[in-house]
């Protein structure tokens, strides 16, 4: 009996091994097929990508992988310029850069040649001279033993490209070449966190296919899908569907883009095999894409604040196109939701049928990031706090990004308002940001660093259609309270308690100049409105307002050290407000989505809005809606005879319908247990208590473990 059990066990092992081998072969076939597919296959996108990557030395792996298939003229260029030794004369093989490492382009070109050689529709398919040149270039790489000072290129970036070469050329390699290929892929080991873990596992899986190692293949596959879950703690997809890596740092367009790109690819590759993703894992991908990433692209461009440190040439458009590949893969891997993916692709990535995409106001409390969308325009606010890192310098990239996480407000109509503005930007005048002017680390080449506000009152609140974001700035010597209110058609920006050493500036606008700049004095005689490129900027006072609309100069090396100092000039539109060292405050309004012909009429006919800006209370009324930021305990009068008092710091929205007040309350500090409110008069509602002596109604809102998310509360006015 025991002998039969052993035999049965051995048979099971044998059958499982056969199934595993068959599954691995199916995965290998589909992997090789993936190198020939063209996901961004619309003719206009193909033409754009072709021009986009021409001569590009962009280090962003997502943008480098925009090239799909192989262009014949590109293949011809690489074949005709390859030296007999197997190297290219325009690549600096002794490069010691940590970013944009030049030898990595040798691997990229090899992959291009391998795709052309193996693709049956290519003019270079199966040609002996192409095969020999691929072998020469491979031999040169193996002889050179090229190593970058940045581990990422050695373990992830270059093996990722060469892994494709090895799979495509596997049948053409002799034993020595095969051994060297497997040894090189051994640079990648399972480990690390987040998207880095996934990239490494991908490379290990390719090595397993080359070695025909079923156990290693299974280990690598499990490591890839291990990160495919919601992560309340640590790095990865957060419960609000934002993405964090390098600590508690928003990474939608950097590691988060690579994550969805990679996972959607493997969801398709593993499909219809025993290694297929589970329905739950597909659902995680779907929700991250449709409820997270879909908010950060607008008419074919990714939001600057979503791009992380990678503000390179072509970043906003390139990252959107890279996201398009992930969406196309999900159409295949998740066919039940194909219609939603097609709409996402058409509206947000191709810019077709504007107004049919995500509309409303969305705040991501885990990452201090908010988005507002109407049919005509989009705006984003990026903040940081004691909980969330605002930005980083890595490998001398993002050299001047110190203030990108301090309330940056970017408003888009077409999507390209800031396209490649970064070389000429005044990085101390980021739209929406209040910061000291002059001095600081600007102009110094720094390899590493993080930027973070140390205020803890940072958050946002929304009813799905309108909303408010607020932050308390405590950074170096600067202090300020700031709010951004989205009322549906306008953005109202308030600031108070601004203190610091030296000159302080709140930047209102700094975008590429396009078309006419016009102005109009307000009827009050004290204020002024400016119009530029579809947006009106309204200031109740002209005092301390600075305006510029001309040429700004710079170079890409100001942004990242791997660039050169070639001079660049661009016309820029700029608005800002100057403040005294102590006691500064401001208020201004943006009205996006207007035209050069209509904007003056729009200004004169704006519905009445009321806003009040005190040291620690910002209050905005729009019709029968109120938005309040209590940076400390305080009180506001909603209507004559109706005063709301908050005993704790909080954000609050209220809407009046009949005799009811519908409240939404949140704790931006994410540290309080409860928020106590009182409303003058007698009201009733869940958890409310009326005090006849004080003639007030009290209510206590539980906010324990809400992580900055709002809590709803309804109070109904009692009849006399």
User: Annotated catalytic sites, by residue?
Assistant: 246, 255, 309
Run of H or E including 657: strand 650-657
d(CA 22, CA 387): 48
Calculate the CA dihedral of residues 105, 418, 400, 313 and round it to 10 degrees: 10
Under 8 Å between Cβ of 701 and 678: no
Of 185, 174, 170, nearest to 118 (Cα)? 170
Q: CB burial class (10 A; 0-12, 13-18, 19+) of residue 178?
A: middle
CA distance 624 to 395: 51
Q: What length does the chain have? A: 720
Q: What does the buried/exposed string (b/e) look like for 350-383 if buried means 16 or more CB atoms within 10 Å of the residue's CB? A: beeebeebbebbbbbbbbbbbbbbbeebbbbbbb
Hey, what are 159's tokens?
């093996």
In sequence order, what are the residues at sequence separation of 6 or more whose Cβ sits closer than 8 angstroms to the Cβ of residue 657?
A: 624
Phi, psi of 161 (to 5 degrees): -75, -45
**Three-state SS for 428?**
coil
List C-alpha distances in Å: 417 to 148, 353, 536.
36, 20, 15
Cα(384)–Cα(435) distance, integer angstroms: 14
| Distance of alpha carbon 328 from alpha carbon 358, whole angstroms | 18
Exposure class string for 243-273: b at 16+ Cβ within 10 A, else e: bbbbebbbbbbbbbbbbbbbbbbbbbbbbeb
Which residues in 316-466 belong to E strands, given as ranges?
Answer: 360-364, 369-373, 378-382, 391-394, 408-412, 434-436, 448-451, 458-462
Cα-only R_g, the chain: 28
Q: In 3D, which of 705, 668, 635, 701 has the Cα closest to residue 455? A: 668
What strands, in cross-sheet order, belong to the sheet with 674-680? 634-639, 642-646, 674-680, 696-702, 688-691
């Amino acid at each position: 009996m025991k002998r039969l059990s052993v035999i049965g066990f051995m048979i099971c092992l044998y059958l499982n091994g056969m199934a595993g081998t068959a599954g691995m072969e199916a995965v290998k076939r589909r992997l090789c097929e993936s190198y020939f597919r063209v996901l961004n296959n619309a003719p206009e996108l193909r033409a754009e990508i072709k021009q986009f990557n021409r001569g590009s030395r962009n280090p962003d792996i997502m943008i480098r992988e925009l090239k799909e298939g192989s262009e014949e003229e590109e293949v011809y260029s690489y074949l005709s310029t390859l030296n007999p030794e197997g190297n290219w004369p325009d690549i600096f093989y002794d490069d010691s850069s940590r970013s944009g490492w030049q030898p990595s382009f040798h691997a990229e070109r090899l992959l291009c040649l391998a795709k052309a050689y193996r693709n049956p529709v290519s003019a270079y398919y199966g040609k002996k001279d192409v095969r020999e040149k691929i072998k020469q270039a491979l031999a040169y790489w193996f002889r050179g033993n090229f190593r970058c000072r940045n581990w990422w290129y050695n373990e992830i970036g270059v093996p990722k490209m060469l892994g494709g070469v090895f799979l495509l050329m596997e049948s053409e390699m002799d034993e020595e070449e095969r051994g060297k290929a497997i040894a090189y892929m051994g640079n990648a080991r399972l480990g690390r966190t987040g998207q880095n873990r996934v990239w490494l596992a991908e490379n290990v899986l390719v090595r397993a296919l080359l070695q025909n190692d079923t156990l290693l293949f299974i280990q690598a596959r499990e490591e890839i899908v291990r990160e495919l879950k919601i992560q309340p703690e640590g790095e990865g997809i957060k419960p609000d569907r934002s993405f964090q890596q390098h600590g508690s740092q928003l990474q939608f367009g950097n590691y988060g883009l690579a994550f969805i790109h990679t996972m959607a690819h493997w969801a398709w590759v593993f499909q219809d095999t025993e290694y297929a993703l589970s329905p739950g894992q597909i659902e995680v991908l779907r929700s991250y894409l449709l409820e997270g990433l879909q908010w950060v692209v607008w008419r074919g461009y990714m939001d600057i604040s979503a791009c992380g440190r990678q503000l390179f040439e072509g970043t906003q458009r390139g990252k959107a196109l890279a996201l398009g590949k992930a969406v196309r893969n999900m159409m295949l891997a998740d066919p039940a939701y194909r219609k939603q993916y097609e709409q996402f692709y058409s509206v947000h990535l191709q810019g077709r049928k504007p107004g049919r995409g995500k509309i409303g106001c969305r705040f991501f409390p885990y990452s201090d990031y908010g988005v507002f969308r109407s049919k005509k325009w989009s705006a984003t606010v990026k903040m940081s706090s004691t909980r969330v890192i605002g930005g980083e310098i890595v490998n001398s990239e993002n050299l001047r990004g110190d203030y990108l996480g301090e309330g940056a407000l970017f408003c888009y109509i077409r999507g390209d308002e800031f396209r490649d503005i970064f070389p000429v930007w005044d990085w101390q005048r980021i739209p929406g940001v209040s910061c000291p002017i002059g001095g600081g680390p600007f102009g110094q080449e720094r390899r590493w660093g993080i930027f973070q506000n140390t205020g803890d009152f940072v958050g946002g609140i929304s009813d799905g259609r309108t909303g408010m974001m607020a932050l308390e700035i405590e950074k170096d010597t600067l202090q300020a309270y700031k709010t951004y209110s989205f009322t549906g058609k306008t953005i109202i920006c308030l600031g108070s308690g601004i203190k610091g050493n030296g000159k302080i500036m709140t930047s209102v606008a700094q975008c590429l100049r396009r078309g006419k700049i016009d102005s109009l004095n307000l009827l009050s005689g004290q204020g002024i409105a400016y119009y530029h490129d579809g947006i009106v900027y309204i200031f109740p006072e002209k005092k301390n307002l600075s305006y510029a609309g001309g040429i700004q100069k710079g170079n890409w090396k100001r942004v990242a050290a791997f660039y050169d100092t070639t001079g660049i000039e661009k016309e820029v539109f700029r608005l800002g407000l100057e403040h005294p060292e102590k006691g500064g405050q401001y208020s201004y309004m943006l009205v996006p989505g207007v035209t050069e012909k209509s904007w003056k009429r729009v200004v004169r006919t704006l519905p009445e809005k009321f806003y009040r800006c005190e040291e620690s209370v910002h209050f905005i009324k729009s019709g029968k809606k109120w938005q309040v930021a209590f940076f400390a305990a305080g009180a506001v009068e909603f209507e004559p005879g109706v005063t709301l008092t908050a005993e704790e710091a909080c954000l609050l929205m209220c809407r009046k319908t009949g005799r009811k007040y519908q409240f939404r309350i949140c704790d931006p500090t994410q540290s309080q247990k409860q928020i106590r409110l009182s409303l003058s008069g007698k009201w009733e509602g869940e958890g409310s208590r009326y005090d006849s002596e004080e003639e007030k109604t009290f209510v206590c809102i539980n906010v324990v473990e809400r992580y900055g998310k709002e809590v709803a509360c309804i109070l109904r006015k009692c009849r006399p």
